[in-house]
Amino acid sequence: MRVLSNLIRLIRALGDPRVPAWIKILPFLALIYVLSPLDFLPDPIIILGWIDDITIALVLVGKAIQGLGQYQSKALQQRKA
């Protein structure tokens, strides 16, 4: 459930002009990497080719969610001040 709520937060943040651009770019970089024919490990290497795609996509999306959390914490602190 937490993963789904984080993904929904990230999707909503893509349309928010206050969110930093680097947070918005990371999910698209993940998508481009997964769809790109250029990989660290080629997809014809059945399992390993897919694992590197999934790993890199999860890392990039995870960094975006982490950055979004930090951004929202800072924004909340600034509102309280």
3-state helix, strand, coil in the chain (%, to 5): 75, 0, 25
The pLDDT of residue 27: 95
Predicted confidence (pLDDT) at residue 40 exceeds the cutoff of 90: no
What pLDDT shows up at residue 81? 66
Asked whether the predicted pLDDT for residue 77 surpasses 70, the reply is yes
The pLDDT score that the predictor gives to residue 2 is 87
Residue 24 has pLDDT above 90, yes or no: yes
Distance, CA of 44 to CA of 63 (rounded, Å): 28
d(Cα 81, Cα 61) in Å, to the nearest integer? 30
* pLDDT above 90 (res 43): no
Query: Does position 23 have pLDDT exceeding 90, yes or no?
Result: yes
Residues listed for the chain: 81
Residue 62: exposure state from Cβ atoms within 10 A (0-12, 13-18, ≥19): middle
